[in-house]
Amino acid sequence: MNNYTVGVEQEFLLVDPDSRRPVALAPRVREISRAPGDLDVQGELTPFQIEVATGVTSSFAELDEQVRRGRRVLVDAADEAGCRLVATGMPPIGEAGPPPGSDDPRYHQIEYSHRRLVVGKGACGLHVHVGVPDRAEALRASNKIRVWLPTLLALSANSPYYEGEDTGYASWRSMVWSRWPVSGPPPEWDGPEQYDGTVDALIATQALLDKAMVYWDVRPSEDHPTVEVRVADIPQLATEVAVLAELIGALVVTEPSEGRVDDSVLRAAYWRASRDGVDGLAADPHTGKLSPAFDRAVSLVEHVEVALRDRGTLSTVEQQLDWLRHNGSGAARQRRSPDPESLVDMLIARTREET
């Protein structure tokens, strides 16, 4: 099957070019961005972040072109606003002083209900939407993807630093995001009725204000006929974004080859992926046994090989995996910088490298 559609939302950090600290210029960047009709520029939870979404794409070439063009639009707008666009899961250097306030009533509502969970400088992820016929199919896709979520996280890990220090994790963003009451891997679903009942019960507890706060790493979209996969850090390079989205699309249309996984073991596999990324060890979500994380990534490509071959993208994905093997994850590449300032400069350059 090679006719699935894919769209992505890329979240970026905005930094001052001199201090390299996050800068609250998202409203200005959005105001002056010149996005064509197939791209959509939006603000995020904090004014340090900006997002660009592609349109619906039906081929890898189309997706790749829109991902690059979206970055170029934001790079140009950030430059004009006097800041720089950075593709990293968490700010490597914190801002000076307390974060500025927001005039967004929803932000204040979340701040009141969830309190210090809202404090932060901007966690930036990659959200991948894959077209599905209906919500029931979106939930079936969620069930199929669950076992591979730690591998997708490991492949994307790009946030080892926070507040100028190495956290010891390849994806600190995923650890920060896991504090929210509804986050991480979703439950195994029996169908839309169970899903809706669970979400309604969570809203009744006020852990969720509304359905937009369903922060599981896979969820049926409330606004589009898609399943949305939200597990990944924002990768440094546009090519990494497109290939990761291609893998996720192939997973959605590939039948599962493994049975259900225990929720507790899956959460532990998540933790291992957050810590080690693709450069260390991975936990098997079924058995907990450890093996090289890169071997698990190879198994993922083998699992979706037929779908990738049908799309004509198998060699592209394999080449990117080989590149990753030799160059390391985004986290490993960040750790090669000699100091936090040089790291931010490297990330600025990498973010615009393929625009």
Residue 101's CB is within 10 A of a number of other CB atoms, namely: 11
Residue with the two structure tokens 């809203």? 203
Per-residue pLDDT band at 115 (split at 50, 70, 90): low
Rounded-to-integer distance, Cα 85 and Cα 47, Å: 13
Domain boundaries, the chain: 6-353
How confident is the model at residue 41, as a pLDDT?
Answer: 95
Q: 3-state SS string over 213-269?
A: HCEECEEECCCCCEEEEEEEECCCCHHHHHHHHHHHHHHHCCCCCCCCCCHHHHHHH
How confident is the model at residue 207, as a pLDDT?
Answer: 82
258-311 pLDDT, tens digit per residue, is 778 999 999 999 999 999 999 999 999 999 999 999 999 999 999 999 999 999
How confident is the model at residue 34, as a pLDDT?
Answer: 85
169-202 pLDDT, tens digit per residue, is 999 999 999 988 889 999 999 999 999 999 999 9
198-208 pLDDT, tens digit per residue, is 999 999 998 88
CB within 8 A of 199, min separation 6: which ones? 208, 211, 214
Least confident of 1-5, 109-113, 119-123, 193-197: 109-113
On the question of pLDDT at 5 being above 60, the answer is: yes
Tokens of 61: 């070439």
Instruction: Name the nearest CA neighbour of 316 among 234, 244, 237.
Output: 244
On the question of pLDDT at 98 being above 50, the answer is: no
- Do 211 and 244 form a contact (C-beta atoms < 8 A)? no
What is the pLDDT averaged over residues 60-76? 97
On the question of pLDDT at 233 being above 70, the answer is: yes
| E-state strands within the chain | 6-15, 40-43, 49-53, 84-86, 125-131, 161-162, 165-166, 183-184, 215-216, 218-220, 226-233, 281-283, 290-292
Q: Between helices 293-303 and 149-156, what is the axis angle to 10°?
A: 120
- Do 169 and 175 form a contact (C-beta atoms < 8 A)? yes
The CATH architecture that domain 6-353 belongs to is: 2-Layer Sandwich (3.30)
